[in-house]
Structures are given as structure tokens and as C-alpha cells.
């Protein structure tokens, strides 16, 4: 049985003068889902959210909430509520009146309002703050009031526009868990916009990675991380090592890719191209460094030999930069399982062999897209 | 212990002590310079002069405060001034607020020009504005009097209101209005429940400023007045013969009223915990 769909975007395009902010985007968000739109600034994620909320009008395309076409409707007629990036709490109203605002507009009885506001402040763990003004609250508390103010209306969909962006790291982590708890508790569909990949990974059921007004890849966090289909996704979610080659053949579940220096590597065949130039990638934590340079590819592992350029001891792991004979640089995160400390690091200049399981490899069709694929240029999008 | 107070008891040199006095003395002199005319005005409102001249102290009386209300040559200009100030403030504040909203919230053809034009009554010399108005009244064949003064005051007050309200609006986070719309308030409700309360301190500042500008305007008023007298015109007229103590009395009352307004506003700001200063330039 198909899930019921809460939000459906059908070929939505938004142009600001000559600039295309959202480009022919189609999307379905299911009921009760925690759905994130993730991407760098300017990718169109906030514009998309604002079109769902009714603050921007789509240049073309249709927006459905449930079965109803709401494309031309103003925000106050849509059954969605928004948590704004800067909270947008009404400074002249108390916490109580802020939270009660939506109920008052819908002519809910006064006694009912008191009960509901009380319960909502309980949910966001701010009971007793009714009389305060927003200016008397900390950033985290304002965030909770903004959430309560939107949630109390029990909208079909809650839209959140980088709601944790203004909080410090520790509070942000705490609020991530809190948001997820609240979402599970109230069972309302959340559409969450963020540029923080870790935030999206932590909370989301599904993530749409966006770039230049389009969805680059849509899937659950694990799919996106383990099986990125483009270099941009591979680079935006975590760090990845990409190597260029050509598909040389396949045997059922695995394809063989021949690198330009002749090395043969194997990767899962699912989905990706089966001929022509490709790039294959592997995450730094999947790589094993072996000091015996010619240990050989045993047990069907992929293997590459190279030279250690740099080693940094981070405590929980050690980060190596290894250069292959072909000149590719690979980042490796080695768990410090057996080492006793920084003294046992592999030294720069040492010949090593990198091995990893073919299942941990992903294939990206086509060739270079260097900027997007370079993990060092997209690392700012993640937090430590 | 005897060693400890040594540093404390060592007295600073004479030069240093004199230097410490410079700022307080200078400040005191400046305040004296600023406020002594007001002090003199208040003091002489209680003077009991022999003739028309109220320039030497003759003796204390409060009679001046009771005498003037029955004398129509004094009360009529004062009532004219208060009426013109009140009406021009209400009209200019209403329309000025609407113009300010239009200029900050909507993009329309000619907005840029409008933004420029609105500054002209503020920046142009009063004498020029007054003279141009006179030309206008004469060429239109309008008889000068109460209504022409009122029109002139509304004209210059609107500019000050627009600029003040616009500054307040520019400082207002626009997503507040979006939040109102998001929470089921239509445009009208959002304005009255969100925008208006938030910009109200700015509107109030603008209104007070407009009232103050109107009640003591002389130059522009003179050109539009005809035979109608306002308080400043009357004061200027009688001052050529000698200033009677009634001028001081009315001056003192206006001063006290203004003082009370400032007090109320400061109290309001303190209560709200945020400043709503009278700002003339947009941010």
C-alpha cells in the first residue's frame, strides 16, 4: 500500500529575473516523514521551502498539500507552519501570546488556548515562561518558542528553515535530538532545510541533496553516504576519495574498473554505468593502510600502493594522506585500534598498500567535475 | 599595619587636581549656557513688572498665570497654534506613516524619486519654502489664513514623519510579517497585530516631533498667515513693543508639557527595555 503523500511538488520552477533559483523540481514528501533539503547556499533549498510556505510564488509548476492544489494560495490559507531561520518571534508579545497567535487567529476558545499553550510549552520544555518577552530568552529558548508557536497549530507539514543555524555547536547537537524527539512525538511531517550535512544525516528519514536549483540525489542518509551517485554528493556528505578509470568488465554483482595506470579495482554493479569512463570512490574510513608495501590483493580486496605524504594523529583516529603512483591523493582515517600513541605512526615517505572491500566502493558515471568532487572545497559544510 | 595606607594618603599634585576639575567645570558651564535662557524665562514668568517691559526683576507674583486666560489677544493665537499643531500632526502622521510603509514595503515606479522628494521640505531653507508657498497661494487666489497655515504645516510635517517612520520600519525584521501570515493572519490582521505595534514607538516619536515643529514654526507660517495669528507670530509682534510676562508664562507651560512628554517616553522605553529614539535618517 502506498504511503499517503503530504507535499507534492510538480515541476516547480522559480526565476528571480534572469536567475533560476529552482529548476523544474519535482518531489514527494510522505506523511510523518522527516525530510531534509541539504545543499550549499544558493542551491534553491530555502526558495523551495518558501514556495511550500506560500512566501514565494512559483514561476511555473504546481504545489499540492495532500490532494489540494495550493499553488496560488497565500500563506495564511495553507495548512503549513514555518520555523524561521531567525525565529521571527513577535518582540512585543509575551511567550504565551506568541504561541497562542495562530490559535487566536482561528478563533479557538480562550480556555482551550490556555490548555493548549500550556501543553505545548511543556512539550518544548519551557513551562512557566508564559509571561516572558522574547528578548528575555536565550537563543535556545527562543528556538523552542518558535517551534511551539508553529507546532501548536498542528499543521499538515512543518517547515524549518535552518532553525539551528544561530545556536552554538553544543546546543545545536542537543536541539537536533530534541527536534527528532518532538517530531516522533507529534507525528507531523517535517521539511527541514540545512546546509549542515551532519545535521541532516542525524535527523532525517530522507534527504534531498540540492545543487543549482535541482535535486542531485534523493535517498536515506545511508544510501547517500554509501552510494553517492555524483561527485558533488560524495563531496558534500563527508570526505571521499575519487579515482578515474574505465569500466573494463563485470561478473554479475561486481564491475571491474581499470584505472589509467592499469590497476584493476572492483565495485558493486548496482545502478552505475557499465561502460565508458567512470570515477570510483571510497570513503576514508573504509581504507586499510598496510606498511608491507607489496602485501598483495588477497581475499578479493581492492588494493592500491602509494606513499605516505602526511600523517596526523587526532586521538580517536589517525589521518593519513597517501599519494598513489598515478599521483592521486587519498585520505585515510585509520582507527587507532592497535597503536599506543603518536609514536607508532607511519612516517612520511613510507611505501604502503591501501586495501578495501569492493562492496565499500561506489561508482560515479562520467568524468571530471573537479571542483564539486574536491572534498577540501566542501569540507566547510560539515562540523567537527 | 602602618605600611598599607601609604599609597592612599599620598596626595596627587596640584596640577593633577586642577586637571581633574577641567571636565566637570566645563560641563557645568556648558549646561549653564544651554539652560540659563530657560531658567530666565521661567523666573520672569513670576515677575511683577510695572510697565510692559519684563526685563528687570520687580517682585514675585503668580498673578500672570491666572490673568492671561481671559485675554483673547493672547488666547486666540495660542488656540490657533494648538489647533494647527494638533490637526497637522494627526493628518501628517496618518499619511506620513502610510507613505513610509509604501516606500519600505513595496517596489513601485517612481519610488526612487519619491524618496528624494520627501527630503526637500526637510532640507530646503524655511524662508524659501515660505516664499514659494506665498507665491502659490497668491497665484491660486487662495485667501491666506488658518487653512493655508494648516496646509503648510501638514506639508513639512509629512516629510519628517515619513523619514522617522521609515527608519523604524527599516529596522524591523520583515520575517515578522511573514510569521504573522504563516500563523493565519491575513494582510490586515498582520498589520494591526504585528507591524503597527512594532512600529508604534516610531509613529509616536514622529507625531511628537511633528507637533513640536508645528507649534513653534514662525517663518513658513508668516508667509501663509494672512491676518491669522499663531502663538509665535503673536510673540514676535508684541516683542517689538516689549515682552509681557504672559509670553514667559506660555513659554514655561509649553516647556513643562514638552518635558512631561519626554519623561513619559523615557519611562516607556525603560519599561520596554529597549530604545525607540527619534531617528531622522534611515538605516
Domains and CATH numbers, chain B: 72-241 (1.10.3720.10)
Q: What CATH number is attached to the domain comprising A261?
A: 2.40.50.140
Range from A79-88, A130-139, B116-125, B241-250 carrying the lowest mean pLDDT: B241-250
Beta bridge partners of A305: A353
Examine the domain organization and report whether A137 and A121 are in the same domain: yes
Contact A90 B185 (CB under 8 A): no
Domain assignment present for A98? yes
**Residue A381 lies inside a defined structural domain of this protein:** no
What three-state secondary structure class fits A18?
coil
Shortest CA distance from A77: residue in chain B: B184
pLDDT in the model for residue A71: 92
The whole-number average pLDDT for the span A238-261 is 85
Residue A3 has what pLDDT?
62
The nearest CA of chain B is from the CA of A149 a distance in Å of 8
**pLDDT of residue A53 exceeding 70:** yes
| pLDDT value, residue B281 | 38
Instruction: Print the domain residue range for A240.
Output: 229-365
A233, A317: one domain: yes
Confidence of residue A1 (pLDDT cuts 50, 70, 90): very low
Alpha-carbon gap: B197 to the closest alpha carbon of chain A (Å): 7
- Domain end, chosen from A188, A203, A224, is at A224
Residues A271 and A201 placed together within one structural domain of the fold: no
> Among the listed ranges B103-107, B236-240, B269-273, B276-280, which one has the minimum average pLDDT value?
B276-280
A178 and A118 in a common domain = yes
Q: Do B274 and A101 lie within an 8 Å CB cutoff?
A: no
Window from A210-214, A216-220, B277-281 with minimum mean pLDDT: B277-281
Q: What residues of B are in contact with residue A76 (Cβ under 8 Å)? A: 181-186
Task: Over range B254-271, report the average pLDDT.
Answer: 83
In a domain, A217, yes or no: yes
Q: Does B266 score more than 90 pLDDT?
A: no
Q: Is residue A136 part of a domain?
A: yes
Residue A370 lies in a domain: no
Does one domain contain both A215 and A233?
Answer: no
Spatial separation of the C-alpha atoms in residues B155 and B99, rounded to whole Å: 13
Q: Do B273 and A135 touch (CB under 8 A)?
A: yes
List the CATH number of the domain containing A17: 3.40.50.300
Chain B residue closest in CA terms to A88: B176
Contact across the interface for A106 and B184, Cβ inside 8 Å? yes
Q: How many Cβ contacts (< 8 angstroms) between chains A and B?
A: 64
Give B30-74 pLDDT, tens digit per residue: 999 999 999 998 998 888 887 767 778 888 888 888 888 888 888
Lowest mean pLDDT among A96-100, B19-23, B126-130: B19-23
pLDDT reported for residue A294: 61
Tell me whether residues A102 and B183 touch, CB distance under 8 A.
yes
Could you give the residue ranges of the DSSP H alpha helices within B45-108? 63-67, 72-105
Q: Are residues A242 and A319 in the same domain?
A: yes
Q: Say whether both A309 and A237 belong to one domain.
A: yes
The pLDDT of residue A247 is: 86
pLDDT of residue A297: 56
Count of CB atoms situated within 10 Å of the CB of B283: 9
pLDDT at site A170: 87
Please state at what angle helix A139-151 crosses helix A95-105, rounded to 10 degrees. 20
| A contact set with B (CB within 8 A) | 53-55, 74-76, 80-82, 84-86, 88-92, 101-102, 105-106, 133, 135, 149-150, 153
More confident residue, B257 or A336: B257
Whether residue A44 is found in the same domain as residue A155: yes
Closest CA to A231 of A354, A377, A91, A94: A377
What is the chain A residue with the closest CA to B173? Answer: A88
What percentage of chain A carries pLDDT values higher than 90?
54
Say what the pLDDT of residue A256 is: 87
Residues A108, A194 share a domain: yes
Question: Among the ranges A229-233, A311-315, B87-91, which has the highest mean pLDDT value?
Answer: B87-91
Q: Tally the domains of chain A.
A: 2
Looking at the fold, whether A184 and A135 belong to one and the same domain comes out as yes
Those residues whose C-beta lies under 8 Å from the C-beta of residue A6, and which sit 6 or more positions away, are: A29, A30, A31, A33, A65, A66, A156, A157, A189
* A382 found inside a domain: no
Confidence band (pLDDT; 50, 70, 90) for B280? very low
In a domain, A379, yes or no: no
Q: What is the pLDDT of residue A382?
A: 36
Statement to judge: residues A233 and A195 lie in one domain: no
Q: Do B180 and A90 touch (CB under 8 A)?
A: yes
In a domain, A284, yes or no: yes
- pLDDT of A373 reads 39
Count Cβ atoms below 10 Å from residue B120 Cβ, excluding itself. 12
Within this chain, do residues A73 and A126 fall inside the same structural domain, yes or no?
A: yes
Does pLDDT of A341 surpass 60? no
Choice between B250 and A337, residue whose per-residue pLDDT is larger: B250
Give the other-Cβ count within 10 Å of B275's Cβ.
10
Q: Is the pLDDT of residue B154 over 90?
A: yes
CA distance B148 to chain A (A): 40
Is B185's CB within 8 Å of A76's CB? yes
Q: Which of B173, B183, B197 sits opposite A92 (nearest CB)?
A: B197
Q: Does pLDDT of A35 surpass 90?
A: yes
Report residue B130's pLDDT band, with 50, 70 and 90 as the boundaries: very high
A160 vs A164: CA distance, rounded Å? 9
Measure the CA–CA gap between A41 and A195, rounded to whole angstroms.
7
Span A270-311, pLDDT tens digits = 765 567 788 889 999 999 888 775 655 567 788 888 899 988
Amino acid at each position: 500500500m502506498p504511503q499517503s503523500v503530504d507535499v507534492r511538488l510538480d515541476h516547480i520552477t522559480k526565476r528571480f529575473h534572469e536567475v533560476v533559483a529552482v529548476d523544474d523540481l519535482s518531489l514527494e514528501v510522505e506523511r510523518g516523514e522527516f525530510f531534509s533539503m541539504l545543499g550549499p547556499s544558493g542551491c534553491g533549498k530555502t526558495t523551495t521551502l518558501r514556495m511550500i510556505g506560500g512566501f514565494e510564488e512559483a514561476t511555473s509548476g504546481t504545489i499540492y498539500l495532500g490532494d489540494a492544489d495550493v499553488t496560488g494560495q497565500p500563506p495564511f490559507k495553507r495548512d503549513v507552519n514555518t520555523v524561521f531561520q531567525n525565529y521571527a518571534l513577535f518582540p512585543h508579545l509575551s511567550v504565551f501570546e506568541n504561541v497562542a497567535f495562530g490559535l487566536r487567529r482561528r478563533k479557538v476558545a480562550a480556555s482551550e488556548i490556555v490548555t493548549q499553550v500550556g501543553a505545548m510549552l511543556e512539550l518544548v520544555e519551557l513551562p512557566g515562561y508564559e509571561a516572558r518577552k522574547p528578548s528575555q530568552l536565550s537563543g535556545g529558548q527562543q528556538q523552542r518558542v518558535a517551534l511551539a508557536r508553529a507546532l501548536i497549530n498542528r499543521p499538515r507539514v512543518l517547515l524549518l528553515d535552518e532553525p539551528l543555524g544561530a545556536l552554538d555547536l553544543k546546543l545545536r547537537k542537543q536541539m537536533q535530538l530534541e527536534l527528532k524527539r518532538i517530531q516522533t512525538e507529534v507525528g507531523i511531517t517535517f521539511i527541514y532545510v540545512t546546509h549542515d550535512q551532519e545535521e541532516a544525516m542525524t535527523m532525517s528519514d530522507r534527504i534531498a541533496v540540492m545543487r543549482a536549483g535541482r535535486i542531485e540525489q534523493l535517498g536515506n542518509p545511508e544510501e547517500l553516504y554509501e552510494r553517492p551517485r555524483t561527485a558533488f554528493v560524495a563531496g558534500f556528505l563527508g570526505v571521499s576519495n575519487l579515482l578515474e578509470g574505465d569500466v573494463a568488465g563485470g561478473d554479475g554483482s561486481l564491475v571491474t574498473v581499470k584505472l589509467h595506470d592499469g590497476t584493476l579495482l572492483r565495485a558493486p554493479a548496482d545502478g552505475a554505468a557499465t561502460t565508458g569512463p567512470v570515477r570510483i570512490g571510497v570513503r576514508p574510513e573504509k581504507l586499510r593502510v598496510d606498511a608491507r608495501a607489496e602485501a598483495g590483493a588477497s581475499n578479493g580486496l581492492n588494493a592500491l600502493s602509494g606513499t605516505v605524504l602526511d600523517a596526523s594523529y587526532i586521538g580517536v583516529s589517525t589521518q593519513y594522506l597517501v599519494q598513489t603512483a598515478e599521483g592521486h591523493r587519498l585520505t585515510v582515517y585509520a582507527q587507532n585500534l592497535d597503536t599506543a600513541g603518536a609514536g607508532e605512526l607511519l612516517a612520511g615517505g613510507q611505501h604502503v598498500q591501501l586495501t578495501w572491500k569492493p562492496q565499500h566502493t561506489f561508482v560515479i558515471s562520467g568524468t571530471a567535475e573537479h571542483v564539486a568532487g574536491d572534498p577540501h572545497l566542501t569540507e566547510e559544510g560539515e562540523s567537527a | 599595619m602602618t605600611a598599607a595606607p601609604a599609597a592612599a594618603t599620598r596626595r596627587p599634585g596640584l596640577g593633577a587636581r586642577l586637571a581633574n576639575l577641567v571636565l566637570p567645570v566645563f560641563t557645568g558651564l556648558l549646561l549653564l549656557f544651554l539652560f540659563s535662557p530657560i531658567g530666565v524665562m521661567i523666573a520672569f514668568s513670576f515677575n511683577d513688572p510695572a510697565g510692559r517691559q519684563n526685563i528687570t526683576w520687580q517682585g514675585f507674583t503668580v498673578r500672570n498665570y491666572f490673568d492671561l486666560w481671559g485675554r483673547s489677544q493672547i488666547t486666540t493665537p495660542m488656540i490657533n497654534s494648538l489647533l494647527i499643531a494638533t490637526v497637522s500632526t494627526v493628518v501628517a502622521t496618518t499619511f506620513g506613516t502610510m507613505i513610509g510603509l509604501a516606500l519600505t514595503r513595496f517596489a513601485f515606479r517612481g519610488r526612487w524619486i519619491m524618496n528624494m522628494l520627501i527630503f526637500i521640505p526637510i532640507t530646503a531653507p524655511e524662508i524659501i519654502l515660505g516664499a514659494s508657498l506665498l507665491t502659490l497661494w497668491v497665484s491660486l487666489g487662495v485667501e491666506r489664513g488658518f487653512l493655508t497655515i494648516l496646509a503648510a504645516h501638514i506639508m513639512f510635517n509629512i516629510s519628517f514623519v515619513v523619514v522617522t517612520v521609515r527608519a523604524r520600519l527599516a529596522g524591523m525584521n520583515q520575517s515578522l510579517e511573514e510569521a504573522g501570515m504563516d500563523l493565519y493572519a491575513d494582510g490586515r490582521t498582520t498589520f494591526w497585530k504585528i507591524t503597527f505595534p512594532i512600529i508604534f514607538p516610531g509613529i509616536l516619536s514622529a507625531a511628537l516631533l511633528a507637533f513640536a515643529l508645528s507649534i513653534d514654526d514662525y517663518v513658513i507660517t508668516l508667509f501663509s498667515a494672512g491676518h491669522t495669528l499663531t502663538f509665535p507670530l503673536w510673540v514676535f509682534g508684541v516683542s517689538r513693543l516689549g515682552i509681557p510676562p504672559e509670553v514667559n508664562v506660555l513659554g514655561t507651560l509649553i516647556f513643562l508639557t514638552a518635558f512631561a512628554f519626554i519623561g513619559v517616553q523615557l519611562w516607556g522605553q525603560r519599561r520596554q527595555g529597549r530604545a525607540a529614539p527619534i531617528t531622522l535618517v534611515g538605516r
